Structure 1
């Protein structure tokens, strides 16, 4: 199909962007999420984006670091680099500690 020509077999179209976040390197990172709609106008969820939204990813990363001796106080020092320009969150001492406590409570029930 030539560039700029409409594809009559198209099943979806881009429908702008919105602010979102994904888990990357043990922290939440702000991203611009692409929105997609079917040709009928129904919003289509993006599977990759949904997978990276899973809060279990952060919990698993925090537990892994604690098992290897990293305290919640020093959690941010053990994170993988994602770039200086990347806005991240979810790595404060209290946030990581709350995740750890929540998992412990789930495991003990």
Structure 2
């Protein structure tokens, strides 16, 4: 079995929305606000690592009720102050926490 490369872009936003039980429009709003990883190609697809950050962003907005400016600040601190191993460790811990949250605990947020 080959190991997966978590940096290869493989999923469109619509599939990510389904994985997160979110609306595509909500994720597009995050994208418009600059909260999602930047994608230059016309066919925007996201990697597993991108999906973890998108899930984190959705968690901050829908569960923690943090506004776009607050999320931008948190993501900026995340990118500037953590090396890759700490980022991955943090996202794994967060992924475990988010798995325990039911979809009823998550409210759709339209900024």
Global fold match (TM > 0.5): no
* TM-score bin, normalised by smaller chain: under 0.3
Larger-Rg structure: 1
Give the structure with the higher percent strand: 1
Q: TM-score scaled by structure 1? A: 0.26
Higher relative contact order (CA 8 A, sep 6+): 2
